């Protein structure tokens, strides 16, 4: 679908958000899509209609607005970080950076895969995130 895009890494705050969200939705899977700004993953999009259970999360791609995504994120309620067969099919459709997070949801309990399901390096970057809602207080 969308053209493949290279990113330098993921913003630390975005990764923490993913880990926190994954932890708080337990035992249900957390799922979303990843967006990048200036070649850094800074945003997690949760699409309306996403169905989650303790076994799977179904993202309805037709709910995706016309925006570029670089990949996806979802959590596994068990400490198994390997992508399932369904995960691999989904990875092939939605970009080249796919994070799976698993308990205990810390900085070491996640792996990033490429569109074919091969583990890939995704550096954690210390970048300032722009928060539009906070501009008002500047």
Q: Which residues form the interface with Zn ion (CB under 5 A)?
A: 84, 87
Name the active-site residue from 8, 20, 29, 68.
Answer: 29
CB of 72 to Zn ion, least distance (A): 10
Q: Could you tell me which residues come within 8 angstroms of residue 95 by beta carbon, excluding any fewer than 6 positions away?
A: 2, 4, 5, 34, 69, 70, 71, 72, 115
Region of residue 71 (phi > 0: left; psi between -120 and 50: alpha; otherwise: beta): left
Residue closer to Zn ion by CB (options 87, 96) is: 87
Instruction: Give the tokens for residue 119.
Output: 């583990």
Instruction: Give the tokens for residue 16.
Output: 């923490």
Residue closer to Zn ion by CB (options 24, 78) is: 78
Q: Is 107 a catalytic residue?
A: no
* CA-to-CA separations, 87 to 6, 7, 112, in angstroms, rounded: 21, 21, 12
CB of 47 to Zn ion, least distance (A): 16
Residue closer to Zn ion by CB (options 47, 127) is: 47
CB of 31 to Zn ion, least distance (A): 9
CB of 32 to Zn ion, least distance (A): 13
For residue 15, give the 3-state DSSP assignment.
Answer: helix
Q: Could you tell me which residues come within 8 angstroms of residue 82 by beta carbon, excluding any fewer than 6 positions away?
A: 100
Residue closer to Zn ion by CB (options 69, 73) is: 73
Catalytic residues: 29
């Amino acid at each position: 679908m969308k053209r493949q895009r290279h990113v330098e890494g993921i913003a630390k705050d975005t990764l923490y958000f993913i880990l926190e969200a994954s932890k708080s939705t337990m035992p249900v899977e957390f799922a979303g899509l990843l967006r990048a700004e200036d070649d850094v993953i800074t945003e997690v999009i949760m699409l309306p209609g996403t169905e989650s259970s303790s076994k799977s999360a179904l993202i309805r791609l037709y709910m995706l607005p016309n925006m570029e995504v670089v990949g996806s994120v979802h959590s596994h309620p068990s400490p198994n970080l390997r992508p399932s067969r369904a995960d691999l099919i989904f990875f092939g459709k939605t970009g080249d950076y796919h994070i799976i997070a698993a308990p205990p949801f810390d900085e070491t309990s996640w792996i990033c895969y490429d569109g074919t399901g091969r583990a890939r390096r995704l550096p954690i970057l210390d970048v300032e995130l722009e928060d539009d809602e906070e501009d008002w207080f500047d």
